[in-house]
Structure formats: structure tokens, C-alpha cells
Amino acid sequence: MTVQQDEATLTKGRRGYHHGNLREALLHAAEALIAESGPDGFTLADACRKAGVSTAAPYRHFEDRNALLEAVCMRAFDALADATGSAKSQFPAGSIESILAGGRAYLAFAQADPARFRLMFGRQPDIKSRPLVEATGVACFQNLLDSVSAFLAERGQAEANPMPLALRLWSLVHGVASLAIDGPMEIMAPDKDPAEIIDEAGRAILAAA
Amino acid sequence: MTVQQDEATLTKGRRGYHHGNLREALLHAAEALIAESGPDGFTLADACRKAGVSTAAPYRHFEDRNALLEAVCMRAFDALADATGSAKSQFPAGSIESILAGGRAYLAFAQADPARFRLMFGRQPDIKSRPLVEATGVACFQNLLDSVSAFLAERGQAEANPMPLALRLWSLVHGVASLAIDGPMEIMAPDKDPAEIIDEAGRAILAAA
DNA sequence: TCCGCCATGTTAGCGCCGTTAACTTGCCTC
DNA sequence: GAGGCAAGTTAACGGCGCTAACATGGCGGA
């Protein structure tokens, strides 16, 4: 969405001194660079070069390097909520398939841009508890809570607390995604499709609920 | 183990110019600093100050900063294998309790030193595929494979492939540990003990096997 | 219409980091 | 006892995040 802001405004837009849309340009540059080099390899100076401005310019729009990463992080949580939400909505609310589809979307999101996923969950100690980041993360998890509530209602446990079951599922899916993108999974079992693990173990957890 | 190498050899041991045990001293310093500031916040220069040597000294013992982290990483995998191995050995081989104890030990290991755990699994792109690191990681996972094999044998499926079940369990436990130490878990459910999630979902996965 | 203000850029410079080159020390061997 | 080599040192480079001081130019008010 909002992709067709013409390239000009993202690189050097308004003629000469003033950029015109630097905040957005820096966010785009940061996202691209993080995807290439990971959140640690990411360099503010690189983002500046990519946006065609001096290395002091970002400080008119972001308090510091971490604030930029924080903004990228919040966007990413929104994107994840979108991805899982639309995946699960292709199946009947409360169905097992709907929950599993959300989990597979979570995995696919991580695999599509591992570095961004690491940025979201690897505790960079300075991004961690900024309230806005927390809030978007919570909104994202709410998605799963809703699915689980619907599932339990479907099973006649409408007033059961969905949290314990949701935490089991989230842990499973997050673990699969983490192991898949950080390497160990393909080292130990290169032929196994991580999505299968979500299906198999997810069904087991749901069946036991 | 090997803790009583006297403090002297770790800081400035042999009189004067030569340190005597710098390699070990740097590893200790790195482990301590990583525990304090995380793998990213860790600085080779800090480790040098802590060991009482100049910033060029480490290059006589390690190729570069990443090689030092790599060594820390391998030690950590050994420690994890020890922790899970001794936890599971307190229950009968092949029992559900034994497998769950291993999982809880994995979680406890992560919680005891979150930064080290992140170093082991967060793909620092340069540490990733160094063969020695891979090898120690594999040895660590072998532990779980053995447990699962014993469990299956106990159930009369002695010739079943333990890999799929092991991957489900590992994903679950790794997910719980990751979410617990990186924050999201205590944000979403501050009152939930992560170990309970391992028990509940672990039993469900084992029961469905 | 012109003018001045202030947001948004710039340049210059600080301190810290990782890394290398060149030099020094002192243990161990012959 | 001499000398070689492992293991330290100092000095320097470039790149980074960040700040201070300066420059530009779009915009609103007289």
C-alpha cells in the first residue's frame, strides 16, 4: 500500500536542498538494508547514502538510530498482523484450519524477511520496552487470541480463557519460525518442510485442548 | 568446571609482558560482557580492558571478533548439552518426564543467560556456518533425538524415525524459551510460568505421537 | 509583494570501535 | 649464553553514531 509515491520523493524529490520526504525515504532504505545485512549489520550511514543525504540529516526525523529501528519494527508488526489476519480469514472462523493457516502465515512472514523478523523479536535492549512497539505487538497477538476464542466457542467452551492455549500455539509457531530462519532446522533436517511441523504439532495441541 | 584456575592467570598472571593465559581470559571476559550487554553490545575493546591487555592483543589468539564469539558459542552449546543431558537423566530413559525435564532445562538455560542463548541461535551472519559451531550444535540436538528414540521404543515403535517428533518438541521448547527471554511472553501473560507451557503442550505432542 | 522565520538540510569534528603494521619483550632451545 | 619466535605493545587508518554550528529556502504575515 502507498507504494506509488513516485520514486523521486524517495530519493531526492523536491529540487535541491530540501528532500521533501526524508522520513519515509529513510524507513524504506532501512527496511531494504536490514533485509540485506540484518539488523546488526544495518548502518545509519548506509541508509543516508541510499537516501542521498548527509549522515546528520536523519536526526531531524528520528531521535537516534534506535528510534529509526523502532519505527521499522512497528511497521513490521502491522504487516505481520495483516498477513496472519488475512490468512486465517480464508477459513471459517474458529476452525482448526483457520488457526493453522495463521501459523503458516507467521512462518512465511519470517521466511520472507528473516532479518526483519529478528528485529521484531530479538531483544535489541534499547528497542524493547518502548510503549508504541509493545502496543503494536500486542495488537498482533490479539489476532491469535480471537481465533482461539472462536475455536473454543465452537467446542462449547465459550467462556474458557483462551490465553493458555494461545500461548502454546504461539510458542510452537514462533519456535518453528525461529529455528527455520536461524539455520538449525535446515542443518538438522534439511528435507523437512517447517510448515508441516506447525500442522502436525498444532493439531496435537488443539486436540488436547 | 576448571573454575579454580587462579584469578591471577585470568587477569595478568605471569609477571610483566606476557599474560600467560590470555585466550582463556578473553573468553571469560567475553562471556561476562555478553551476559551484561548482549551479543551486540559486546565490544572487543571492553574485553581487552577487562583482561588488562591492549586492543591488539586478541589477534594473537583469535582471527577476529567473530572468531572469539564463535568460541564462546561452542562452549555454550557444550554447556547446553550438559544441562539438558543431566536433567533428563534424572528420570527413566524414554519416559515422558525425562523428555519434559530436558525441555525445562533448555528453558532454564536460556533464562539463566539470555544473551548467550541469543548468541547461539540468533544468526549472526558470520558465525553461522562455521563447521565447528555446527558440529557442537548437532551434538547438542542428538541428546533430544536419543530421548525421543527411547520414548518411541518404550511405546513399541522402536524402529520409527524419531526426527519428526523431535522437531515438534524442539520447536515448542525453543519457541517458549525465545518468547520468554525476548520479552513478548511476559508482556502478554506476565503471570504464566513458561515451564508450564512446555509441560502442557509437550504432553499433547507426545500423546499424539 | 516582500521579508523574516523556522523546519530541514549541510559541513566539521568528537570519541569509540575493529583491524593492521611495525616494533619490543622475554621464554625456551640449542 | 645467544638468538629465535610467540606473545605482547604502540600507532595509525577508516568507518561509525552523534552533536554543534552554519546554510537554505518554503511559507505565512505585514
User: Could you tell me the pLDDT band of residue B140, with boundaries at 50, 70 and 90?
Assistant: confident
Counting Cβ atoms within 10 Å, is residue B170 exposed (0-12), middle (13-18) or buried (19+)?
buried
Shortest distance, CA B27 to any CA of chain A (angstroms): 22
Q: What is the 3-state secondary structure (H, E, C) of B44-57?
A: HHHHHHHHCCCCCH
Of B185, B192, B205, the CB nearest to A204: B205
Q: Which residue has the cell 543467560?
A: B113
- Which among B34, B100, B118, B123 is the top mutation candidate for probing chain A, defined by the most A β-carbons within 10 Å of its own β-carbon? B123
Residue-level pLDDT at A124: 66
pTM given for the model: 0.93
Instruction: Count CB atoms within 10 A of the CB of residue A31.
Output: 20
> Distance between CA A123 and CA A132 in Å, rounded?
15
**Nucleotide nearest to A18 in CA–C1' terms:** C9
Give me B191's grid cell. 503471570
Give me A88's grid cell. 486465517
Q: Enumerate residues 6+ apart whose C-beta is below 8 A from A125.
A: B37, B38, B41
Residues from chain B that touch A81, judged by Cβ atoms under 8 A, are none
B87-96, B136-145, B172-181: least confidently modelled range: B136-145
Q: Which residue has the cell 505481520?
A: A80
> Distance between CA A123 and CA A114 in Å, rounded?
15
Residue-level pLDDT at A54: 97
Residue-level pLDDT at B127: 62
A162 touching chain B per CB within 8 A: no
A91 touching chain B per CB within 8 A: no
Residues from chain A that touch B129, judged by Cβ atoms under 8 A, are 183
> Distance between CA A182 and CA B125 in Å, rounded?
9
**pLDDT tens digit sequence for B147-193:** 999 999 999 999 999 999 999 999 999 999 999 999 889 999 999 99
User: Could you tell me the pLDDT band of residue B124, with boundaries at 50, 70 and 90?
Assistant: low
The tens-digit pLDDT sequence of chain A (209 residues) is: 333 344 434 554 444 567 879 999 999 999 999 999 999 999 999 999 999 999 999 999 999 999 999 999 999 999 999 999 999 999 999 999 999 999 999 999 999 999 999 999 987 656 655 677 788 889 889 999 999 999 999 999 999 999 999 999 999 999 999 999 998 899 999 999 999 999 999 999 999 99
Task: Tell me how far apart the terminal alpha carbons of chain A are, to the nearest angstrom.
Answer: 38
Q: Is the pLDDT of residue B12 over 50?
A: no
B19 touches strand D (CB under 7 A): yes
Residue type, B153: A
